[in-house]
A = this chain, B = another copy of it.
Amino acid sequence: MGKCSCHPEQETSFMCMKHNKFLCEECLKCPDPNIHCKFRQSCPIWFIEKRGGKGIDDPSSAKAKEFTVMFQPGNKEVRVPEGATLLYAAQLGDVPLNASCNGKGSCGKCKLILESGVAKSENTPLLTPAEKGKNYVLACQTTVHGDIVARIPEETLEKKMKIAGMGKAATDKMRGLVTEITPMLTHFSLELSPPTLEDSISDMDRLLRGLSKSGCDVSRMSVGLPVLRELAAVMRGENWKVTASVVKKRFSSKIVGVAPGNGRPSSLGAAIDIGTTSIVVYLVDMTDGAVLAATSGHNSQAICGDDAINRIVCAEKDGVKKLSDMGLATINGLINEAIAGAEVERNRIDNVALSGNTTMIHLLLGIEPRHIRREPYIPSVSAFPVLKARSIGLKVNPEAAVFVMPAPAGYVGGDIVSGLIYTGFHREAPMTLFIDVGTNGEIVLGNKDWLMTAACSAGPAFEGGGVRWGMRAEEGAIEKITIDPKTLDPMISVVGDVPPRGICGSGMIDLISEMVRAGIIQQNGKFIRDMGHPRLTKDGDEPAYILAFAGDTSVDKDILFMESDVENIMRSKGAVYAGFKVLLAQAGMDFSMIDRMIITGGFGQYLDLDKAVSIGLLPDIDRGKFAYLGNSSIGGAYMALLSEACRKEAAEICNRMTYIDFSTNNRFMEEFTSAMFLPHTNLTEFPSVQIKYQ
């Protein structure tokens, strides 16, 4: 008998044979993979032995039972103890399940089809009777009690998504923005004169003299012991031809490596945008700025939740390292793809620029993020040192210099600073409103004279979270919709021109706009009841619009748009619009004083401006003032990768920005409430919008 590792107040006779730790029965059978995390982290596969105590009468029960879960497609097998959830099994086996709510049972996204085996599933309203009839379960609500085969339904499998702004035109535009290439890490090929009695300076001084002659600023140069220790041999190894690798940091430079000879191939760089949802890697030739490969994929942290808050919760439970490793796995995978595609050596990548929101960067670097989600929302770090790739686990040249975009605040991160560098409006006179809508909405207002910024919790609706058939702008996502006001039938456009399997953000905006126009929903977002139309149905008590009938989809189910979906989207658009209003008010301004409005982020790619205005997401200003500039975070990372001026600019932007916190702002709450209508309670703000409802 001993005390449970999780619940010290609990005496238990179960013991992990591997770790010599006790675990109580509750822990052992607990279906929630996020409890007892510390123990499970160190021992993902349990070897449990029941020692002594009253339960030891049957020797065969001395070990906790373990079962195999096989995931299809892919034949991935995972061993888990009896009582573990299928979501836990998926996490253990790196099976990419969508689990927006991180196992709370509230998002209904982690659907699996049980093909065989013994499982115990909690009843959930998030599965339809039809789904239940087909053995659909929620992975987080289902525990393992025998060997199981589970299939991931097509709508649950995460697929390669379209990444905004990755075409040749976009990268050509980026190259044009960089006037001078000044990497952090530079290799200097030197041919030194051999020492003589008349010229008998030390090897190190000879190296510095050679560097100086080659145009390297050696006035603030440091060097570490490992380089000094091997210097004599290296310098004589190829008859005084050496290649010195110098990293220019913020306040000094450092010789990070010296190698014999002069034959080193040219440098490559990686610009990396770490989004909460997706990660983008650009592989760049550091000599001319050419983008040799661009790869993108889902941030595999998504299994711990859709948004930054859930990721922090997960890091608090399971440790920051787990999240860091997940993010790294995705990044290193994308780097692998990129170097395979471009057919280059990994070790040639010796400059890296990272851009991402504050939480993503904290998690990736293994820095404590927990205070970002608690008032007063404090990040550990805003400005980051130039790091070594090795120290953070990036699979490139271990000595590579890593620049991390600085972050002005906990909810306005380096991705926004990156966006400014890329769009450049902070250098110009026109008054600009900048918005990046992702799982959060970050707003910047200002011009070359001043900058204000704020974040509004738009929520994940536009990225598919909290919307029954919501999904990201991937293949199979309905992204454009018009509804015939007479027949109420929709015309849809699907990403990839395939049968639909869900609705992405731009589709939702179109849909709400059209539903208002067609008189299906009212200004308050409620369905107009009893229209007596086959597309107007109910799920339980909740009204819904059938956007696609089962036969027309790739998922063999009606794709519904629920009244609660409308409400969630209204919350998101309301928060964004309220954010605009309050930030303008802080500056004593209104929309009429805005010269241009820049929209960035993947969300904006398919956006219909008129429809976004018509639901009250965007202000009703001259459409010619709007500009969509794609993934500005990767754009800024690319520029910072290449240019020291841009890296310095990043720090300046951070210092210039005034951050306004909305979390306890009464005015924001008022504006939010006013914006919870379609388009708005104050219709005079939307003169161009024609409201039609019964």
Contact = CB atoms under 8 A, between A and B. Distances in A.
A203 B380 contact: yes
B410 A200 contact: yes
A222 B249 contact: yes
Interface stretch (A71-79, A385-393, A583-591): A385-393
Given A196-B376, A203-B371, 20 more contacts: A199-B376, A200-B376, A200-B410, A200-B659, A200-B661, A201-B378, A202-B380, A202-B381, A202-B382, A205-B382, A205-B383, A220-B252, A223-B385, A225-B367, A225-B392, A228-B365, A230-B368, A232-B367, A251-B252, A252-B252
A197 B664 contact: yes
Interface string A180-211: 00000000000000011101111111000000
A313 to B, nearest CB: 16
A366 B224 contact: no
A101 interface: no
A250 B229 contact: no
B230 A382 contact: no
A357 to B, nearest CB: 14
Contacts of A250: 222
A196 B231 CA distance: 51
A377 interface: yes
Contacts of A375: 197
Most buried by B among A201, A392, A659: A201
A627 interface: no
A225 B366 contact: yes
B200 A378 contact: yes
Interface in A654-683: 659, 661, 663-664
A201 B408 CA distance: 8
Contacts of A236: 371
A233 interface: yes
Interface in A553-609: none
Interface residues of A, number: 54
A446 interface: no
A241 interface: no
A151 interface: no
Interface in A390-416: 391-392, 407, 409-410
A367 B410 CA distance: 45
A663 B197 contact: yes
A368 B251 contact: no
28 contacts: A195-B378, A197-B661, A200-B378, A202-B380, A202-B382, A203-B371, A203-B380, A203-B381, A204-B380, A205-B382, A205-B383, A223-B385, A224-B385, A225-B367, A225-B387, A228-B367, A228-B380, A228-B384, A229-B365, A229-B367, A229-B368, A231-B367, A231-B380, A232-B367, A232-B368, A232-B370, A251-B251, A251-B252
A417 to B, nearest CB: 14
B391 A225 contact: yes
A460 interface: no
A409 B197 CA distance: 11
A379 interface: yes
B368 A202 contact: no
Nearest to A225: B391
A279 B224 CA distance: 25
A1 B664 CA distance: 81
Interface string A348-384: 0000000000000000011110110001111111111
Contacts of A661: 197, 200
Contacts of A384: 228
A204 B371 CA distance: 13
A249 B367 CA distance: 25
Contact of A232 (B371, B377, B409): B371
A251 B222 contact: yes
